[in-house]
Amino acid sequence: MGIAYTMPKLAMAMNEGTINEWLVQHGAKVQKGQQIMNVETEKVSYECESPEEGFLCIVVPEGETVPCDTTIAHFCASEEEVNNLLGENDSSAPSPETDAQTSESTVDESADASATRTPLESVVDKGYEAGRVKSSPVARKLARENNLDITRIEGTGPGGRIIKCDVLAAVENRIEPSQATSASPLAVPPTEGTNVKARIPIKGMRKTIADRMQQSLQTTAQLSSNWESDVTDLLALRQRFVQRQEQLGTKVSVNAFLIKAICCAIKQVPIANACREGDEVVIYDSVNMGIAIAVPGTTEFDSGLMVAVLHGVERMGVAEIDLEMKALIGRVRNGEARPEDLSGSTITMSSTAGIAPPGMTATPVLNLPNVGLVGPSTPQQKPVIYNGEMVARTMLPMSFTFDHSAMDGEPAARFMSALHEVLETPELMLA
């Protein structure tokens, strides 16, 4: 049957992958280590190396998205075996029993090589199931006439077949209307005659962003608070580092100082560095800083968003933070990210400095599963009362978004105060 090749799990947060491209043709001989597939995950795309040697029997075609650990190909001993596998594939008509299987049991079977059914058959059956909803002809016709998505109706006929009365019940209750009926008048696309500039498919990274943002807003009790910190002294301190950039090996960025400041505040209020994981809020010792990065989109009109993760920043000085951060961002932007580069954040920083207009405050959306997100914006000089006198100081608009279900206002406020104090008194970073 050949050796099964499953969708690799390339990151903790990776649940499924899209096969962008098979780099080797079906039936071709591949060497161990040869690049065979380009996979797009929620955040990034990878060139994957073949873990085995053999003739490649492709099961899941390009463009398909499948869960991790799903068999996507087989490494066969011969071309003949490739053909045999396909032959079985064709003749393996699904039985009523397989129709009734849950997707969990199918996955279990495909993972279990000793199961009586081969992984390939499981995958094929699953694919068949996925595309097939048992329904009677009149039920399909009624669903069509009523703009109902039949796949979302529960069947009560023999073997779970969707029959007429099921569709009528759905019509009656307006249960599970399809997009066409649920869409408000505003959501109706423009009619013909309106020129289209570009079409951006909601897939790949765009799909991940869309799903994550919705999930974030729908599953947490998040809110944002805003304040301003006087970063005049911090910028002056940074300037002294910049003057020594050759010595330090990097022109230390403001962000590096901000990250350091966040670490200091976390030390005082640890709950800001935490994740919602199931029924628990897990507070971490080490700080894995998620850094939101804008990346090019699929067209010139849109953009992408990635959260690169700098692990263990609490142990680093600002120069090291800066160096590591720049390397990380470089890898992510060049499509060379390592799995850990894009997962495992414990808190997020999303800066709009230099992009947003001066003074703008924001309410950024939490990066799940983190419970806190710090959002610095663009600083500006403002007249302020400093040591009893009206002077011009550089003020940085800040926001902190937190999940109230994990963190109440009191610790949140203490965290913001701690961060404010470090930003205004950068010497405290030495504490």
Partner 1 sequence: MRTLTLIDAIKEAYQEELRRDDDVFMVGQDIRGGIFPHTKGLVEEFGSDRILDTPIAESGMYGVALGAAQEGMRPIVDFMFGGFSYVTFSECSVTTGQYHFLHGSQRALPITMTAGVGTGQRLANDHAMSIHGTFAHHPGIKVAMPSTPYDAKGMFKAAIRDNNPVMIPWHMGIMMLKGEVPEEDYVVPLGVADIKREGTDVTVLANSLQLQNALKVADKLHGEGISCEVIDPRSFVPFDLETVLRSLEKTNRLVVVDEDWESGSFANTVSAKVMEQGFDLLDAPVTRVTLPDMPVPGGYMEDYIAPNVNKIEAAIRSVLARIAA
Q: Under rule CB under 8 A, which residues in 110-169 are in contact with partner 1?
A: 136-141, 156-160, 163-165
Amino acid at residue number 339 = P
What are φ and ψ of residue 178, in 5° steps?
-80, 170
CA 260 to chain centre: 25
Task: Find out whether 157 and 140 touch, Cβ atoms under 8 Å.
Answer: no
**63 versus 159: smaller Cβ distance to partner 1:** 159
Tell me the closest approach of the beta carbon of residue 103 to partner 1, in angstroms.
19
Q: How many residues bind partner 1 (CB under 8 A)?
A: 14
Q: Under rule CB under 8 A, which residues in 320-349 are in contact with partner 1?
A: none
- Give the chain's radius of gyration (CA, Å): 27
Element counts in the chain: helices (H) and strands (E):
13, 17
- Listed residue (122, 184, 180, 185) closest to 152, CA to CA: 180
**139 versus 329: smaller Cβ distance to partner 1:** 139
Task: Find out whether 309 and 13 touch, Cβ atoms under 8 Å.
Answer: no
Structure tokens at 384: 């302020």
Residue 304 binding partner 1, by CB under 8 A: no
Tell me the closest approach of the beta carbon of residue 183 to partner 1, in angstroms.
26
**98 versus 401: smaller Cβ distance to partner 1:** 98
Tell me the closest approach of the beta carbon of residue 133 to partner 1, in angstroms.
15
Written as one string, the DSSP assignment of 1-64 is: --EEEE----STT--EEEEEEESS-TT-EE-TT-EEEEEE-SS-EEEEEPSS-EEEEE-S-TT-
Tell me the closest approach of the beta carbon of residue 170 to partner 1, in angstroms.
14
Tell me the closest approach of the beta carbon of residue 159 to partner 1, in angstroms.
8
**7 versus 139: smaller Cβ distance to partner 1:** 139
CA distances for 414 relative to 230, 263, 305, 384, 402, angstroms: 18, 14, 30, 23, 13
**51 versus 159: smaller Cβ distance to partner 1:** 159
**96 versus 359: smaller Cβ distance to partner 1:** 96
Tell me the closest approach of the beta carbon of residue 92 to partner 1, in angstroms.
23
Tell me the closest approach of the beta carbon of residue 156 to partner 1, in angstroms.
5
**156 versus 381: smaller Cβ distance to partner 1:** 156
Site residues (vs partner 1, CB under 8 A): 136-141, 156-160, 163-165
